[in-house]
Amino acid sequence: ATAFGPAITSFVQPEPVPSPQDFVLWSFFNTMFCNPFCLGFIALVFSIKARDRKVAQDPATAGSYGRTAKHLNIAALSVGIVVTIICLVLLILYYNVLQ
């Protein structure tokens, strides 16, 4: 006769994979307030694609779309800030010329 002791099983949970960012709010802000050359709108499209891929459990593609949206958001915000500063400087110069 053989004696078996109690069976001990252990379950190791894998580390949770961080969800890729989709930058939807930033893209929406750029679409509404800072949209030079439609960069904000294009970033919003990529952000929505990234969110759809996250829902479909495809983190690699979601990360790719998210990075593209991030780069487009950076470009839109940078160009928007530069254009705003140039417009303010031209407006101040024009106002000074009138006086």
Sequence spans of domains, the chain: 23-98
Nearest to 64 by CA among 32, 30, 23, 27: 23
Confidence of residue 3 (pLDDT cuts 50, 70, 90): low
Six token digits for residue 20: 């890729």
Residue 8 has pLDDT above 90, yes or no: no
Q: Counting Cβ atoms within 10 Å, is residue 48 exposed (0-12), middle (13-18) or buried (19+)?
A: middle
The C-alpha atoms of residue 62 and residue 50 are separated, in whole angstroms, by 4
Q: Which residue has the higher pLDDT, 86 or 12?
A: 86
Its pTM stands at 0.78
Whole-number CA gyration radius for the chain: 25
